[in-house]
Amino acid sequence: MAFWSTLFGKSKEVAASSPTPVHDLIPRWGEIEVQGESFRRDAVRRLFDELGLPEGGVTQQAAHLVPEPLNQYDRNAVKVVIGGWHIGYVPNEISAEVAAVLDGGQGVAPVRVWADPKDGTWRARATLFPSAVEPDRDFAQEQRAVVHVPDDREIIPPTTLTVSEPMDLRLLDSTRMRIKGIGNYVGWNERRAVGGTTYVLVREPDNPHDSCAVLVLSNARKVGYVSAARAKILAPLFDNLGSDGYLVGGTGPSDESVQLWVDIPKADVLRAFVKSRLS
């Protein structure tokens, strides 16, 4: 019997009782941002309805990772299914390696999902292997208010780095991703002032924890890092380009979150850009 089957002709899928935990991906990739949620808004809505969060919220769940070898766009595609609902895919930049870890089988991994039906359109973000477990939230109860969290490190002395002429990558097709480690560099009450619509990415090859590290600057202030998974892809490409920094887009806090987001050029687009610059 197939691991997944279609239920009553709808998009909900039924999981086998004992998928394999995918622990090997945690040290290899860190957090993985799921892609394609915007194409599966109805599945997100149904999932949150079943979870008792009809007005959206944040929830920690178990995601089933399901290879989709017949996918017409990527034979290494890996679906992300939560509660029987297919809500997106593992990023195509790493799908082949994730599929190799699954080795023809299916797996299960922790996932954090944020979703909000603001203005009548469901928007969602899902992160596999979240670095921190957050409490579940119900936006109907919170009335979408940003909750101020007292923190004895709210005022954090800034770490600054000036990049005089960063290479502008803002015209390249990109994926918006969460900046990692913000709490180490920016206090809660500073984030709205520090966050913006442009950021600078800088290679940090001497980082003692990750030689592929890519830090993120906002107005010359260090605000965090690109995820380890993306940094591994970006590092050799940035090293080939040889600039001191790379100007990209992004966004600051919203009504739903005090998180900062940065636009990371897509791997295939950046590779083509590097090739054109070096040819």
The DSSP result for 191-227, as a single string, is HHHH--SEEEEEE-TT-SS-TT-EEEEETTEEEEE--
Which pLDDT score, from 0 to 100, does residue 154 have?
55
pLDDT(9) > 50: no
Fold matches, 20-142 and 167-278: yes
pLDDT at 5: 36
Q: Is 58 helix (H, G, I), strand (E, B) or coil?
A: strand
Q: Quick one: average pLDDT of 76-96?
A: 93
Span 268-277, pLDDT tens digits: 999 999 999 9
Strand 78-82 relative to strand 20-21: parallel, antiparallel, unpaired?
A: unpaired
Closest CA to 52 of 112, 128, 136: 136
Q: Which amino acid is at 173?
A: D
DSSP conformation class of 17:
S
As a whole number of angstroms, the distance between CA 259 and CA 171 comes to 23
**What is the average per-residue pLDDT within 79-89?**
94
> Quick check: 201 pLDDT over 80?
yes
Average pLDDT for 182-187: 85
Q: Is the pLDDT of residue 216 over 70?
A: yes
Per-residue pLDDT at 145 exceeds 50: no
Of the two residues 34 and 138, the one the predictor is more confident about is 34
The Cβ of residue 179 has, within 10 Å, a number of other Cβ atoms equal to 22
The band of 2, judged by pLDDT with boundaries at 50, 70 and 90, is: very low
- The predicted model gives 123-146 an average pLDDT of 75
Between the CA of residue 121 and those of 55, 111, 115, what are the distances in Å? 11, 22, 10
The answer to pTM > 0.75 is no
Q: How far apart are the C-alpha atoms of 106 and 212, rounded to whole Å?
A: 29
Q: What percent of the chain has pLDDT over 70?
A: 86
| Proportion of the chain above pLDDT 90, given as a percent | 47
Tokens of 235: 């590092």
CATH of domain 167-278: 3.30.70.2330
Query: Best-predicted range by mean pLDDT among 73-77, 130-134, 179-183, 190-194?
Result: 73-77
- The 10 Å Cβ neighbour count of residue 85 is 20
Would you state the structure tokens that stand for residue 134, as one six-digit string?
A: 């957050």
Where does the pLDDT of residue 46 fall: very low under 50, low under 70, confident under 90, or very high at 90 and above?
Answer: very high
CA 109 from chain centre, in angstroms, equals 15
Q: Which CATH architecture has domain 20-142?
A: 2-Layer Sandwich (3.30)
Residue type, 269: V
* Mean pLDDT lowest among 78-87, 97-106, 234-243: 97-106
CA-to-CA distance for 206 and 97, rounded, in angstroms?
26
- With 80 as the cut, is the pLDDT of residue 90 above it? yes
Q: Could you tell me the residue ranges of all domains in the chain? A: 20-142, 167-278
| Average pLDDT along the chain | 84
The CA-atom distances, in angstroms, between 223 and each of 142, 161, 192 are 27, 11, 12
What's the whole-number mean pLDDT along residues 185-214? 90
Q: What is the arithmetic mean of pLDDT over 206-221?
A: 94
